[in-house]
Structure 1
Amino acid sequence: MADKSSTSTNPTPNSLHPVYTVTNIQHKVRMLDGTKVSYPSWVKLFMLHATGYEVVHYIDGTPAPGKDDDDYPTWKKIDAVILQWIYGTLSDELLVRVLEDTSTTYEAWEWVKKLFLNNKGSRAHALQHELTNLTLSAMLDLDSYC
């Protein structure tokens, strides 16, 4: 029997890679909009899905096979499907910021990550500064201040 390791991108001739069985990604991973669904929640849902469909190596930075490698055509097709998953679970506002003609799954994944985590440190610093300078006299009442 052929080895079916989770990192194989070239299934045996009579088998279909699990990625091709997904008909609607939005039934499994909710739409990332930054308000109703937060980035950390979206990542958890997406990673669960990617693990179950044996494609985590497309988004974790594992190098792609070379373009001359026999596995490359299959890898490229699966990469396109997962890229569709990412695009299909982004709000319209986020999609226009991430959509690229020649992007790979990993590049799109990193771009979404950068959108949400790039200013995390500066935002935390700004909120800390705001909290430090907050005074009771600037608030309507004690409940608002607390």
Structure 2
Amino acid sequence: MTKDASGSGEVKAMALHPAYTVTNIKTKIRTLDGSKVTYSSWTKLFRLHAKAYKVLDHIDDTSAPVETDPGYLQWDEIDALVLQWIYNTLSDELMVRILETDTTA
């Protein structure tokens, strides 16, 4: 909840972003292992779910908002969530090969 920008003190509920409703991404996207699930099929599935959960802008060529943008904190939080989805749908062997610190989806 946030206070009204007018200073009236009213509290408004913020809408829940659809990405927060995903409790287990592995039930939606199979694990990329390179043999049973190929990169091509995994990316098609991942993009489909990213579109459905309104996070496609985190994996396409859309630029991240600047840190001073009022929506940046939520964008950054959702970006971390999408990055977790990516890591959680990779086989252990592939994950350790691409795991990086301070990266975005």
Using the size of structure 1 for normalisation, the TM-score is 0.62
Quote the Cα distance in structure 1 between the aligned partners of 2:86 and 2:92. 12
Once the two structures are TM-superposed, the CA of residue 20 in structure 1 deviates from its matched residue by: 0.2
Runs of 5+ unmatched residues, structure 2: 1-11
The alignment partner of 2:67 has SS state of: coil
Letter in 2 for 1:84: Q
User: Equivalences for 1:46-125 in 2 at 5 Å?
Assistant: 46-105=46-105
Runs of 5+ unmatched residues, structure 1: 1-11, 106-146
More helix by share: 1
Quote the Cα distance in structure 2 between the aligned partners of 1:69 and 1:63. 13
Say which structure, 1 or 2, has more relative contact order (CA 8 Å, 6+ apart): 2
Once the two structures are TM-superposed, the CA of residue 61 in structure 1 deviates from its matched residue by: 1.3
Pairwise CA RMSD of aligned residues? Answer: 1.1
Aligned to 2:30: 30
Once the two structures are TM-superposed, the CA of residue 14 in structure 1 deviates from its matched residue by: 3.1
Aligned to 1:135: none
Once the two structures are TM-superposed, the CA of residue 96 in structure 1 deviates from its matched residue by: 0.5
Percent identity, aligned pairs only, is 57
Using the size of structure 2 for normalisation, the TM-score is 0.86
Bigger Rg over Cα: 1
Once the two structures are TM-superposed, the CA of residue 18 in structure 1 deviates from its matched residue by: 0.2
Quote the Cα distance in structure 2 between the aligned partners of 1:13 and 1:71. 16
Once the two structures are TM-superposed, the CA of residue 53 in structure 1 deviates from its matched residue by: 0.2
Quote the Cα distance in structure 2 between the aligned partners of 1:71 and 1:14. 12
